[in-house]
Chain A
Amino acid sequence: MKDESIQTQNKFIDSAIKGKILVNKCRNCGQLMLETVYYCPVCSKSDFELVEFDGVGTVVTHTIQAVAPEGFEDLDSYAWVVFSVDNTPIRASGFLPGIKVPADLPIGSKVKVTGYDKKHGLSLQKLP
């Protein structure tokens, strides 16, 4: 029995820093899931191929935080965004600085991952 600590979040962050979304592809059933999931929700196996997808996707929903939680007060105005990752059935979420009103980010807008901020998490940028 391998005596290895499970450290899924650090791998996900390493990919996000490169602008990628890290995904597990189940070698048993082919299911795709975010890399932080340790057992496949379909077949319960834990034998995965790691696949990095470009962190580009489409905005599914978002909010603009007028009252920022602790640690985010230094951001002028930002949106917390749920986006579907292109070429996958997967959704992820992150923060997108500079969004002031809903018209700045219509549902269906394209966004990309720009990195992982130690203080603010997964950072996004709106694509033209």
Chain B
Amino acid sequence: MTNSVCVLGAGSTRYGKLNESIIEIALNAAKGAIDSAGITPKEIQAGYISNVFGVADKQVHMAPVLMSNLGIPNVPGLTIESACGSGSVMFREAYANVAAGFYDCLLALGVEKVTHTGTTQSTTLFSYCSDFFYEGGNGASFPGLFASIARAYLTTHKATEEDLAYVAVKNHDNGLLNPKAHIRKKITVEDVMNSPVVASPLKVFDCCPFSDGASAVILCTEEFAKRSGKPYMKVIGSGRGASPAAVQGRADITTIPSTVAAAKQAYKMAGLRPEDIDFAEVHDCFTIAEVIDVEDLGFFKKGTGAQAAREGATRRDGRIPINPSGGLKSKGHPIGATGIGQVVEVFEQFTGAAGDRTVKDAEIALTHNFGATGASAAVHIFQKV
């Protein structure tokens, strides 16, 4: 690696049910990032796009279509799919290409549009991200897979379904302060506990919504960022990890090996430890996921993540604020965009654009995003400049 890599400019659509086409959604986020960076499209040397279900809106081969609509049809684009972790996995590849010196400035954009397909078809589409022969094909939906992980966790550790509910309550509180969040609704532990069961032990309020949306950032060398005169932040750690694709293939179902591996790499590269992180955006597709994430990332000891949520240690004013954006749970989960949306949140936090959800005095932040039940994961660490 030779170049110091920076995020210069970030843009995001609202997450939720959007009426625009998938390309229009992507263009809105791209324009936001380009304007924020103070550049013109002509300065973009490559486009990295993450998307999973473009076929649902009749568009695959997304990258060149988007580049053409940005008026830069001769700029090479690449579309990357890694289920719900597509955004962070794509970000890693984009980062590596700037670090290696192939590009000075590129667009990294994630986009998804699924809500028009309805709940049943969306559930089915998402199940294709599992190891389908063993999981989706045997009747497990994604809530079902994480519910099986939750049951294993609740059986193994001293934790309750009510503890999980505290994760949802906290993320909804944060999402209330995010004008682009999909579900801006204050909920209580009782609301979570009384909501309908989706796949036991998980209930409706344990689950993130299906969302449409796009998020984009401009990645560039530090020299490029400095010349722009605009605010930027540095990428100081990057890691990737993998787990057995099927839940049944894991010796311990209460941990996600890809997260542990990716975090270890990112911390080592940054020369930091978990206690050096000021806040984190983690993959809370279901409440149980956040509980396991905060343990696997080293913020809390194994088996204490649920207790941390109950005691408020992960709230915005807690020991380690988790998901100040509202997370996937409240901000929403347009799966191809989610990993980039997390980077956008860090950028807004570091550049004074996060409003009332700003984490006070934060200078180092971590993003964590995985695909499926954690078969693939990426972790990145950012430093305020």
A residues bordering B, Cβ < 8 Å? 9, 36, 60-72, 75, 78, 80, 82, 91-95, 101-102, 107, 120-122
Contacts and interface: CB of A to CB of B under 8 A. Distances in A.
B138 A95 contact: yes
A75 B139 CA distance: 10
B139 A78 contact: yes
Closest 5 CB pairs of A and B: A63-B147, A121-B138, A61-B152, A70-B124, A80-B140
B235 to A, nearest CB: 32
Contacts, number: 100
A95 B134 CA distance: 10
Interface of B: 120-121, 123-124, 127, 133-141, 143-145, 147-149, 151-152, 155, 196-202, 246-249, 253
B139 A82 contact: no
Nearest to A117: B138
A68 B196 CA distance: 14
B247 A93 contact: yes
Nearest to A69: B141
Contacts of A69: 120, 123-124, 127, 136, 139-141, 144
Contacts of A92: 134, 248
B247 A82 contact: yes
B144 A91 contact: no
Nearest to B140: A80
Contact of B133 (A36, A66, A67): A36
B248 A120 contact: no
Contacts of B147: 63
B135 A64 contact: no
A66 B199 contact: yes
A95 B139 contact: yes
Contacts of B196: 66
A61 B198 contact: no
Contacts of B202: 63
Contact of A93 (B121, B143, B248): B248
Contacts of A68: 139, 141
Contacts of A102: 151, 200-201
B154 to A, nearest CB: 10
